Structure 1
């Protein structure tokens, strides 16, 4: 009975202390977050509670294993597995802490910087650095843990390092596309061609860059679909970046109208309706006749907006209001199909409708 109670007491106390420490750390972080609401770091660090408890539990189990008196077969394998759990949870904890620090830095930078382009660039670079650091940290920790905990693999590791040159050439040829995307991702992250939050037009689709990884770039299209593309595309193919150089845009509304359209009155009406629209940023506007055909004229109304959202709603609203005004005040200005005879000039010259004659004399 004692042989059973002792391990249960030791392991139960270990788990209980671990849970208590995690709960106490979470309470302290919550209190610090309430005292300092201007610093989001404490709130972000609360997400480290789970990996912290796993680290403490696995480490405590290793430390108290000899005291527990548990005698099970393959004791060395069990301890090595617990050590691997400790290493993995430590990496998990470090990644969570780095993420909390990165989000806090981004929030402070966004609060002190008025230029949204610099904020988007910093966010893109920070996310890319975080991904690279997490990948390298996990890779190095896994390699060191395996070589330290499993000495029999050291010989295999030495032989692999001895042939690293040949393996590097083979891996480079086999993973040429992946490496191209990797370097393209680094170039995008530390360049300024495209950033998270930019409005782009790719393959005829308009959307906002939502995520940039080492291999792929995700665009959230206006209808909430996601377009995922390799990052190498943005270094080899043309695309439109509407956020490059500023978020301001100029929208246009093109109408095909009759030649009798009162253009000056229409221009005054456009100016009047723009005055009460909040999506017009009051930078510029115009209404001109850009083309004419034998039956219609082409009228273009141009107006500026501060961003893509206002740009779209402004165009739709102006088009609807101008058409409504024309139907109500000047219905003759709308295009139509002419079915009446052509008018005759004042001097009597002109085209007259000749009645059709019947070819049958009977």
Structure 2
């Protein structure tokens, strides 16, 4: 409703501005009076309203087009790709519209126009100064455009950045917002993702594997652990039915390390499945094989000697 209201208001304003210009031109021809000052302000108003209308129409077209793509579905890789491209493309076009509109309005003022001519006359020095002062801003803008084209990540991708695990929530021209698992927001410049490595768990698909490590005594029966793991996975809705592995990955002086590898449809389900399997496997060992829990052995040897104690 609000979007429709904005479009109607902007359309009415545009019609009023055009009507005012026509009336001014008619009065000028009829009376011969000079309304150039008013005409300049009318042109500026027309530019501003036209830019506003263009931005509103652009957003309406984007919203209507994206209705065909539902990112709430489980298999939403293509939808997230389209959302990412159009969101960044929208921001680029809006940025260009605003820059062009502001430039046209400023050029209508005589004083600013003279300053512009002077800047063009010293374009070499001005270019160097602007290049040095705005290189980070321009770099961030170019990085945002490059992310839209290459798409190293998309909206709602699960990523690990700066040691934090979360989802891509917003992709803007100059910065990216990561929604961390505990609902904090990590805001990073767009150039960060082109300069530093990061993990993308859902680059090609949402499927992900999780690991659980168990540390037990040497006398644990591994086949029984595998049987219990299979039973737990079959009874869980979190498991996608693909990966079910238990391997002995390390043997130390006091314990044996067993690694459980399971899979789920997405990263949140993989996390929940990992903690569920870890808890239930520990309970299984506690109830059925309490002697197989990690223990520290102390061997006391009684060596009889003929010497009297001191």
Q: What is the TM-score with the length of structure 1 in the denominator? A: 0.73
Mapping 1:298-337, distance limit 5 Å: 298-337=257-296
**1:230 shift after superposition:** 1.5
User: What 5-or-longer segments of structure 2 have no aligned partner?
Assistant: 26-34
2:302 match: 353
**1:190 shift after superposition:** 0.2
Q: CA 1:360–1:110 in structure 2 vs 1: closer, same or farther (change >3 Å)?
A: closer
Q: Greater Rg, structure 1 or structure 2?
A: 1
**1:304 shift after superposition:** 0.8
**1:264 shift after superposition:** 0.8
2:52 match: 92
Q: Distance between the aligned counterparts of 1:356 and 1:204, measured in 2? A: 60
The DSSP-based 3-state class of the residue aligned with 1:170 is helix
1:162 match: 121
2:249 match: 290
Q: CA 1:224–1:81 in structure 2 vs 1: closer, same or farther (change >3 Å)?
A: farther
**1:153 shift after superposition:** 3.8
Q: CA 1:320–1:355 in structure 2 vs 1: closer, same or farther (change >3 Å)?
A: farther
Q: CA 1:89–1:224 in structure 2 vs 1: closer, same or farther (change >3 Å)?
A: farther
**1:156 shift after superposition:** 3.0
**Which residue of 202, 206, 213 maps to 2:172?**
213
Q: Distance between the aligned counterparts of 1:151 and 1:140, measured in 2? A: 18
Q: Distance between the aligned counterparts of 2:74 and 2:165, measured in 1? A: 26
Q: Distance between the aligned counterparts of 2:187 and 2:306, measured in 1? A: 68
Q: Does 1:103 align with 2:52?
A: no
Q: Check whether the contact 2:211–2:259 (CA below 8 A) recurs between aligned residues.
A: yes
Q: Check whether the contact 1:45–1:97 (CA below 8 A) recurs between aligned residues.
A: no
**1:226 shift after superposition:** 1.0
Deviations 1:79-121 (A, max 9, x none): 866764553343223212201111221222459x996333222
Q: Which structure is richer in relative contact order (CA contacts within 8 A, separation 6 or more)?
A: 2
Mapping 1:1-362, distance limit 5 Å: 45-52=4-11, 54-55=13-14, 84-110=44-70, 116-148=76-108, 150-339=109-298, 342=299, 352-354=301-303, 361=310
Q: What is the TM-score with the length of structure 2 in the denominator? A: 0.84
